[in-house]
Amino acid sequence: MAERCKKLLFCLMLALPGLLAAACSDDSTPPAVDPNDLYDPAACQRCHRRQYDEWRGSMHAYAAISPTFDAFEDTVSKLTNGSVSPSGASANFCVNCHTPLTLQRGEAFPEFQSEADGKRLFSQLSAPSKRGIGCTYCHRVTSADHAKSLLGDGIANASLVWRDGEVFVGPLGKTVGSSRHMLEKNDFISKPELCGGCHDVRPVRPDARTNEGFQRLENLFTEWQTGPYNDLNHAERPKLVAFYKQKYGTDLTGKTVRCQDCHMSLYPWKAPTVFPIGFAATDGELVDLQPRKISPHFFSAISIALIDNFPNQFATAASPPTLSYKLDSGERVSIPTDQQSRRNAILGAAVQLSLGQTGASVTANATTLPIVLDATNVGAGHNVPSGFSQERQMWLEVFVVSGDAAFSDCQGGSPKASCIYRSGYLVDRAHPQTGEDRPDGRLHDEDLNNFKVNVDPTTFKSQDEVGDDLNQREGVDPINPTHGPNLGLVNFQNLFLQKKDDKGGYHEVHSAHLADTVDNSHSLPPFKTKTIRYDVPLAGKNVSGTVRVRVRLRGRQFPPLFLRTLAQRNPHLVTEAMVDRNLIIEMASVEKTIDVGASTP
């Protein structure tokens, strides 16, 4: 008992009053605490500093204050006559997941009145509600809400049961005599269905092609649920087991890989399901806690904050700061603290590219250079891209140059003569509608060139013209029934489609509220290889010696067009500076040199 009090005295000397102040007595009743104090994650850092530091730079912390979300939610509300406003047909549809405590605490957003209304002031929210998806929400969810969900499966549209009060839930329950809050064991917090409550999004709008009574705006959880990471009998499951055993030496035979096993573990620095060990609370060794498996709370994925000065946002040095985690074996693993480095790592592990089926040579009189590319999603438990995948760009940049010419010869508005073929290229242009009066020398903020798209910011309707990089492959999607050569842009981004005639024809639209159907067929499912062919014309190119091929898989969280359209509607929220922070991620790259023969064989 004396030793225990010495430990507590040490805590008090460290200016941690109240951490576990009742531990000097045998009374295990928690000290009195106002539950309202625990709505704000900042209150949790007192005992859970590591988790707080990880969370504060996450997209969960950004969810409510994101100007992009604010602008888009405002746009949808106004263009649908207030459907997602508090009294609308789909009341609070967006905010249920982006700032769930707002509703749980009885706060409300302004009601929709007219298109002429000013901005919807998220600044009016209380401090806890501005913190997005915080500790108090996830750690008070007790189960799925099957009655609320559209299919009775407890998935999508915030179909979760949240319990207010002083009792938090965790995977282990009470492991120490007393604490600032009561704690009970609840396995649901470790289940993927907790994530599925918000990471499928199903607006109640019939889908014209699937005939479901809703559209699958975000289908991430369902992709995982029906894929090889969850289904142990899935046709692609043997590939998954073999891949992770070869890459990491980890045997996943018979193991379900949950959402948490990738997004709250040490992945991709270690295999999925590998977690560090440590104390769940600050100075745990002083209050009779035992080291155990702990979960990093970074929630890393494709998105990062686009506002200025968000915590742990971009890598600011060649060697960014890291946090060190300890494994059971004693090995330590360092993970970058910034969103950008973690995003680059997790997306860099997602897809493998191969030119193995591309021949090593062609004859001197060949009129076509065949390029065969295999793209395989080897590192994501769902499709890639996923989530809001109709606004997640992921495309192939293909450059073919002669001899030792630089691949950069294919970039920009006017490729050099050494550039034999290019697709997925970008051109620096001015964007005066958002204040970029002349080309700024950046390519990250430029749109792709398969279509020339003009979106009316007042309606989000668009006029699209065919661009120079149009995908000409036969039957590639409902909006492009071309029968041309195997050339043009390959973009794995999914699509919002609207009927254009009574014959089954569709055209792309750029907002969910205009869509008659959501086409989620373009993204890459786990371990199912997609083969893409390019028949590059050589006639008239005067090519001899060698040509070099480089294929890069590039991604970004939003098309610049989407952000600039929001900026024109809501210039007080979305700016050209945010478009410039919407950086391209280099996900994978492969090169090959091909000999061009001297004569016909």
Q: What is the pLDDT of residues 222-238, one digit of tens each?
A: 999 999 999 999 999 99
Q: 42-56, 336-350, 493-507 — which is least confidently predicted? A: 493-507
Residue 548: inside a domain, yes or no? yes
Q: Do the beta carbons of residue 547 and residue 355 sit within 8 Å? A: no
Tokens of 464: 């699209």
Instruction: Give all strands of the β-sheet with 292-293 in edge-to-edge order.
Output: 292-293, 277-278, 322-326, 332-336
How does pLDDT run across 293-319, given as a tens digit for each residue? 999 999 999 999 999 999 999 988 777
How does pLDDT run across 144-184, given as a tens digit for each residue? 999 999 999 999 999 999 998 888 999 987 666 556 788 89
| pLDDT(118) > 70 | no
Residue 171: inside a domain, yes or no? no
Residue 325: inside a domain, yes or no? no
Tokens of 42: 């900042």
Q: Is the pTM of this model over 0.85?
A: yes
| pLDDT(291) > 90 | no
Residue 311: inside a domain, yes or no? no
| Domain count along the chain | 1
Residue 531: inside a domain, yes or no? yes
Residue 202: inside a domain, yes or no? no
Residue 481: inside a domain, yes or no? yes
Residue with tokens 């028949």: 535
DSSP 8-class letter at 249: -
Expressed as residue numbers, the domain containing 477 is 350-596
Interatomic CA distance for residues 426 and 411, integer angstroms:
6
Q: Check residues 179 and 20 and name the one with the higher pLDDT.
A: 179
Taking the C-alpha atoms of 302, 305, 311 and 314 in order, what is their torsion angle to the nearest 10 degrees?
A: 60
Q: Do the beta carbons of residue 444 and residue 576 sit within 8 Å? A: no
Q: Do the beta carbons of residue 199 and residue 138 sit within 8 Å? A: no
Peptide bond into 385 cis (omega under 30): yes
Q: Check residues 300 and 507 and name the one with the higher pLDDT.
A: 300
Q: Check residues 329 and 284 and name the one with the higher pLDDT.
A: 329
Number of continuous H segments (helices) and E segments (strands) in the chain: 16, 21
| pLDDT(10) > 60 | no
| pLDDT(327) > 80 | yes
* Alpha-helical segments (H) within 393-520: none
Residue with tokens 């794995």: 492
Peptide bond into 268 cis (omega under 30): yes
Going by pLDDT thresholds of 50, 70 and 90, the confidence category of residue 126 is: confident
Q: Do the beta carbons of residue 148 and residue 92 sit within 8 Å? A: no
Tokens of 167: 């009792």
Residue 297: inside a domain, yes or no? no
In one letter, which amino acid is 455?
V
How does pLDDT run across 445-470, given as a tens digit for each residue? 999 999 999 999 999 999 888 899 99
Mean pLDDT of the chain: 89
The per-residue pLDDT for 115 is: 56
In one letter, which amino acid is 481?
P
End-to-end CA distance of the chain: 91
Q: Which residues of 542-555 are buried (b: 16+ CB within 10 A; e: fewer)?
A: ebeeebbbbbbbbb
Can you give 248-294 as a three-state secondary structure string?
HCCCCCCCCCCCHHHHCCCCCCCCCCCCCEECCCCCHHHCCCCCEEC
Q: Check residues 317 and 424 and name the one with the higher pLDDT.
A: 424
| pLDDT(18) > 50 | no
Q: Check residues 78 and 4 and name the one with the higher pLDDT.
A: 78
